[in-house]
Copies of this chain bind each other. A is one copy, B any other.
Amino acid sequence: MGAQHSAVPELVDESPDLWDEGFGDAARRLLTAGVRCFATNGFHATKTRDITSAAGLSSAALYVHFASKEHVLFEIVRAAHKSVLAVVSEPPATGDPAAHLKSLVARFVAWHARYHVAGRVGQYELSGLTPDHYATIIALRQQTTAVFHEAIRRGTRERAFGPVDDHRVVRAILSLCVDLVRWYRLDGPDSPEEVGHFYAELALGMVTAAGTVTPSGDGV
């Protein structure tokens, strides 16, 4: 009952590597193989032999480059979250709050489209991490979330957005943007940048037209 009987479709992944310069060639091949395996079948369903054979190595070779299977997962998840944080931390081209938010969302979404395979692992395989590694990832994720909070707060402060609920809107935008790793395909009709622009407009709509609903209450 291994990966060979998997019901989930194969993934197309032509995205560039995310790995640190410090990794050698064999280690990078193991990480690349690990992403594919973990994204398709999950961390616990992936056998160390699945990773090593996909990387063209024997089963023992993994332990020359990584302390354990969990360390392979950790390096993948950390690289993904560091890459996302770097992308959202780029200064936007303009000072307008609406354009600022749109630029932020477009970059965030384009990343998740291009790296949708690594994005799945980074979002859905966190339960395979040790508590220490899990805490490290959550800290990185909070830095990314903080960038969105600041963009929203700035828009409301400068009266560019409606009186939206900060936390609810940020959660909604992040949900919208992250979930596309579940369905996006690089061989589909839309490029990562096209999806990014489309979702940027949707996000702006959340903080202007429909986002101006009164916080709490019974929703009437």
Contacts and interface: CB of A to CB of B under 8 A. Distances in A.
Contact of A6 (B41, B127, B206, B218): B127
A163 interface: no
B180 A7 contact: no
A36 B200 CA distance: 36
Given A42-B42, A176-B176, A209 B205 contact: yes
Interface in A104-134: 106, 123-124, 126-131, 133-134
A218 to B, nearest CB: 8
A127 B7 contact: yes
A133 B7 contact: yes
Interface residues on A, range: 35 or more
A35 to B, nearest CB: 15
Interface in A161-220: 165, 168, 171-172, 174-176, 178-180, 182-183, 189-190, 193-194, 196-206, 208-211, 213, 216, 218-219
Contact of A198 (B135, B194, B199, B213): B213
In order of increasing CB-CB distance, the 3 nearest A-B pairs are A205-B210, A197-B219, A7-B134
Interface of A: 1, 5-8, 40-45, 70, 106, 123-124, 126-131, 133-135, 165, 168, 171-172, 174-176, 178-180, 182-183, 189-190, 193-194, 196-206, 208-211, 213, 216, 218-219
B172 A176 contact: yes
A190 B168 CA distance: 10
A200 B210 CA distance: 9
